[in-house]
Amino acid sequence: MKRCIRNGQIYGTGNSRSGKPGDIWIQGGVIEKITEPGEAFWQEDTEYIDAGGCWVVPGLVDLHVHFREPGQTEKEDIASGCRAAAAGGVTTVCCMPNTKPAADCEEIIRLIDEKAGNACGVHVLPVASITVGMNGKTVVNTRKLYNCDTQCKELTGRGIAALSEDGRSVMDSAVMESAMVQARDLGIPVFSHTEDHAITAESPEGEEIIVARDILLAKKTGCPLHLCHISTKGSLDLIRLGKRWGLKLTAETAPHYFTLTREDTANKTDTLRKMNPPLRGEEDREAVRQALKDGTLDVIATDHAPHCPEEKQRPFAEAPFGVVGLETSFAVAYTELVKRGILTPEELVRRMSTKPAEILGLRRGIIAEGYPADLAVIDTQREYTIHGEHLYSKGKNTPFEGKRVFGKVVCTLADGNVIYREGEEA
């Protein structure tokens, strides 16, 4: 099927064309041609998608989501997670291994890959745990996982996107070092959840101690390291140092860390704002924004962490950590960063698509002729209110309940196929 996305303002072209209106002609899943608006590149057999007044961006690449399958499909499953991703303009996700059981072996990675193959077409790149059963002791069989025959292998050359113990840290530095040596030899990035479990997560040092340690281990081993959900000013200083050392070091934050603080949470016991790491202070939020601008933070990921309403309705101390984010990340980032003049549109696309694709070694995250047609059409002028009950995700636990935002995803394509269209049932 031939398609043409007409009249959109195209961002993420990687050249001076960016931000200009144009038509994108798609065939065989690939962008065949980008023309001036209104040109008749093909005459017949073409489905036209009107993007007038909208942005067209490369499909977003989210390095950090939790799809809960296998084991906790009442919270989310791969199909529902993919639907949420598509509705958020996200065409590639890395799904974290803290499932039940943990994604620590070939069998589970292949199961995830198979379920993803039956979902809507979002590319699901599995992340394997660093240790067996996330026990913190025995490193997984990295070579077997590397060789695993998955869609991830087709897209990146590796059976898994990364190794990560997300949900907790590998507290034994020798185990972490050994995993990083193996990952380096195979060319697998390590995604680090940075939390010292001996120190309360409420203190910034709880995060910063592991940030510092893992940067030092990246220096020692030469392993590519990506730091997850960075939230404190101190972590950013440490990342700057590591980058100055010339390490293969990247870092992400999530929309809640550049939007919310613990202070502006009217109700301090709101479980919809309970996540790991926790919301920080005003200085941290400002530092995170500046770090997204100066590139200390390379990526905006969501840490999409769905939980059941019953669980989030428990008393604060007993409710699980985590918030959903796939369907709100673009709108929140656009509203908070672009509309406030902190990031340019081009910089936002870089943080949400181009750079994460680069980290994965994925030939996506850019709108150019010859590239796969992973695209999102977004009406950035449309203002609306975020409501958990309207989300496609099984998780309704958004920290942005009631927030007014700009930016509605109207259509998402993966490999040239329409995987989401506003107003159409999945």
Task: Check binding of 41 to ligand NCD (CB under 6 A).
Answer: no
Kindly tell me the burial class for residue 365, based on how many C-beta atoms sit within 10 Å of its own C-beta (0-12, 13-18, 19 or more): buried
Residue 280 CB, nearest approach to ligand NCD (Å): 14
321 is a site residue for ligand NCD (CB under 6 A): yes
Closer to ligand NCD by Cβ: residue 76 or 374: 76
Tokens 């193959």 belong to residue: 117
On whether the CB atoms of residues 132 and 104 are closer than 8 A, the answer is yes
Query: Which position among 196, 303, 374, 379 bears the catalytic label?
Result: 303
Shortest Å, Cβ 48 to Zn ion: 35
Instruction: Measure the CA–CA gap between 193 and 383, rounded to whole angstroms.
Output: 34
Selected from 165, 303, 374, 379, the binder of Zn ion by CB under 5 A is 303
Q: Provide, rounded to whole angstroms, the least separation between the CB of residue 134 and ligand NCD.
A: 11
Q: Minimum distance from CB of 258 to Zn ion (Å)?
A: 17
CA angle 148, 89, 6 (to 5 degrees): 120
Look up residue 214 and give its two tokens.
Answer: 């893992």
Give the integer Cα–Cα distance in Å for 98 and 421.
31
332 binds, options ligand NCD, Zn ion, none, Cβ within 5 to 8 A by partner type: none
Spacing of C-alpha 168 from chain mean position: 18
Site for Zn ion in 383-412 (CB under 5 A): 387
Q: Give the count of residues interacting with ligand NCD (CB under 6 A).
A: 11
If binding is defined by CB under 6 A, does position 8 make contact with ligand NCD? no
CA-based nearest residue to 306, from 287, 325, 289: 325
- The pair of structure tokens assigned to 309 is 């309403």
Q: Does 305 bind ligand NCD (CB under 6 A)?
A: yes
- Using CA atoms, how far apart are residues 160 and 152, in angstroms rounded to an integer? 6
At closest approach, how far in Å is the CB of 36 from ligand NCD? 44
Please identify which residue in 113, 165, 166, 327 interacts with Zn ion, judged by CB under 5 A: 166
Nearer to ligand NCD, 4 or 94 (CB): 94
Euclidean distance between CA atoms 282 and 286, whole angstroms: 6
303 is catalytic: yes
- Verify binding: residue 207, Zn ion, rule CB under 5 A: no
Indicate whether 167 belongs to the interface with ligand NCD (CB under 6 A): yes
Cα torsion angle, 15, 19, 23, 24, sign: positive
Which of ligand NCD, Zn ion, none does residue 371 bind to, with CB < 5 to 8 Å depending on kind? none
H or E, element range at 87: helix 78-87
Query: Under the criterion CB under 6 A, does residue 76 sit at the interface with ligand NCD?
Result: no
Do residues 171 and 136 touch, judged by C-beta distance below 8 A?
yes
Query: Which of 321/384 has CB closer to ligand NCD?
Result: 321
What phi-psi label fits residue 7: left (phi over 0), alpha (psi between -120 and 50 degrees) or beta?
Answer: left
Distance between CA atoms of 373 and 396, rounded to whole angstroms? 30
* Binding test (CB under 6 A) with ligand NCD, winner from 83, 193, 351, 364: 193
| By the rule CB under 6 A, 322 interacts with ligand NCD | yes
Report phi then psi at 308, rounded to 5: -75, 150
Minimum distance from residue 61 beta carbon to ligand NCD (Å): 18
Residues at the interface with ligand NCD (CB under 6 A) = 66, 98, 166-167, 193, 275-276, 303, 305, 321-322
Catalytic sites, residue numbers: 303
